[in-house]
């Protein structure tokens, strides 16, 4: 390949893509074009350990800075890609730099969904997506007293946990009738709702934010006729896949950049990986767009092996995690796929697992402070089990594998 491989984006998927190419003995040019000032870093700790001041940048980096030079990977930070000319096989940046490619990998990730409401431009209102975002939030938390988190998803609740431990007065506002409604069962929503309330967090359900008030900086969050005092607001209402440059280049998109099970887009010379993609999953029997680190890592690896002429299928069971207070929630599959659930352990001890079954087979596991149940749950996925026996803790989980 004369012009080499260009990778757009400098997140988890791009770092894995570049490393995979070199591991597979590709000797051509590799260029990474990223719009942030840092090399690729791990995003999940941003709303947890980094926000809490327990982790700093060097520990966040996917690869140390010297990795790129040592492996002859041309890393361009602070570089925003403006367009792709798929016919000419060129990438054009906002600074009018032009990079030729033989093969292109789009790993543009996603961005925070924005609220366009009266007062949303006031100081003290933040979104949490990048390292720079969290640096500003950490600074604001140092002097802030009343935090309002808009959105009761995992990121919002992780932020609420960190802020509550730090001594802030925290309120979470959720438009739905329960937190975590999009991602888990009512029972698990109730568990985490009670957990946060017990730790002093105020949770308001069925409330839609209509605007913000303040002189220069935010002082109130408005929900219709109701209002809450706040000198710090963090908005976590989901993310949006960064697909615009792909769409403008004529690449097929639908809730993400459409790829096949090899990571290839509708253009045979362009591959994509990570949050920005919509891919088929044979094991789940449907297409989906995943917002997860494991997906970004494995999809990028498979796509780059195939880019070099390989023939690998990307099909894996999704898994996720969330750290709130001293609790680690680890999830396999989607609880919404289940028709019945079995609790193994005692919720009151904050160490238990919920197995979700369909037609007698395990289709999802939610494990709280129970890594053993999580790991074995991954191996039990799709296997038929006796629900009554699964709930019996005197029976070793590993016995179900046989």
Paired with 332 in beta bridges are: 319, 365
- pLDDT tens by residue, 341-391: 999 999 999 999 999 999 999 999 999 999 999 999 999 999 999 999 999
- Greater model confidence, 225 or 68: 68
Terminal CA-to-CA distance of the chain, rounded, Å? 48
**Assigned CATH topology for domain 326-401:** Enolase-like; domain 1 (3.30.390)
The reported pTM is 0.95
pLDDT value, residue 1 = 63
Place of tokens 């609220």: 115
Report yes or no: 130 and 154 within 8 Å, Cβ to Cβ. Answer: no
Residues of the chain with CATH 3.30.390.30: 326-401
- pLDDT band at residue 401, thresholds of 50, 70 and 90? confident
Would the pLDDT of 179 be above 90? yes
Mean pLDDT, rounded, for 179-191: 94
Q: Which of 204, 206, 211, 180 is nearest to 115 (CA)?
A: 211
What is the CATH number that goes with domain 5-111+239-307?
Answer: 3.50.50.60
pLDDT value, residue 85 = 98
- pLDDT band at residue 245, thresholds of 50, 70 and 90? very high
Would the pLDDT of 4 be above 80? yes
Residues of the chain with CATH 3.50.50.60: 5-111+239-307, 125-235
pLDDT value, residue 402 = 76
The per-residue DSSP string of 127-152 comes to E-SSHHHHHHHHHHHHH--EEEEE--
Mean pLDDT, rounded, for 25-30: 97
The per-residue DSSP string of 340-399 comes to EEEEEEEGGGTEEEEEEEETTEEEEEEEES-HHHHHHHHHHTT-B--HHHHH-TTS-GGG
Domain boundaries 125-235, CATH class: alpha beta
Mean pLDDT, rounded, for 153-176: 97
Q: For residue 280, give every residue at least 6 positions away whose Cβ sits within 8 Å of its Cβ, in sequence order, or none.
A: 260, 261, 286, 287
- pLDDT band at residue 3, thresholds of 50, 70 and 90? confident
């Amino acid at each position: 390949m004369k012009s080499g491989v260009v990778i757009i984006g400098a997140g988890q998927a791009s770092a894995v893509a570049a490393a995979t190419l070199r591991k597979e003995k590709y000797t051509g040019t590799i260029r990474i074009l990223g719009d942030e000032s840092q090399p690729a870093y791990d995003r999940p700790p941003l709303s947890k350990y980094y926000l809490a001041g327990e982790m700093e940048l060097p520990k966040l980096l996917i690869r140390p800075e010297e990795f790129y030079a040592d492996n002859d990977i041309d890393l361009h930070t602070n570089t925003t890609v403006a367009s792709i000319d798929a016919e000419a096989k060129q990438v054009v940046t906002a600074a009018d730099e032009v990079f030729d490619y033989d093969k292109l990998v789009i790993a543009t990730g996603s961005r925070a969904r924005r609220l366009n409401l009266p007062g949303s431009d006031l100081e003290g209102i933040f979104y949490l997506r990048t390292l720079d975002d969290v640096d500003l939030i950490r600074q604001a938390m140092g002097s802030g007293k009343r935090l309002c988190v808009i959105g009761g998803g995992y990121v919002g609740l992780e932020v609420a946990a960190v802020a509550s431990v730090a001594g802030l007065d925290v309120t979470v506002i959720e438009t739905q009738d329960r937190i975590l409604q999009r991602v888990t069962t009512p029972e698990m929503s109730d568990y985490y709702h009670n957990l946060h309330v017990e730790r002093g967090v105020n949770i308001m359900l069925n409330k839609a934010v209509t605007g913000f008030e303040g002189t220069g900086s935010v002082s109130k969050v408005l929900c219709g006729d109701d209002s809450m005092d706040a000198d710090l607001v963090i908005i976590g209402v989901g993310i949006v896949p960064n697909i615009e440059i792909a769409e403008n280049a004529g690449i097929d998109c639908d809730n993400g950049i459409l790829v096949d099970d090899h990571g290839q887009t509708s253009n045979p010379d362009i591959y994509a990986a990570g949050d920005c993609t919509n891919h088929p999953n044979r094991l789940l029997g449907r297409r989906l767009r995943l917002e997860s680190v494991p997906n970004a890592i494995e999809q990028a690896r498979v796509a780059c092996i195939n880019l070099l002429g390989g023939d690998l299928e990307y099909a894996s069971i999704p898994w996720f995690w969330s750290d709130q207070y001293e609790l680690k929630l680890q999830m396999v599959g989607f609880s919404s796929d289940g028709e019945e659930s079995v609790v193994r352990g005692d919720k009151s001890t904050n160490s238990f697992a919920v197995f979700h079954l369909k037609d007698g087979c395990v289709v999802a596991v939610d494990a709280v402070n129970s890594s053993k149940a999580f790991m074995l749950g991954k191996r039990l996925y799709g296997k038929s089990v006796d629900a009554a026996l699964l709930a019996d803790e005197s029976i070793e989980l590993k016995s179900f594998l046989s």
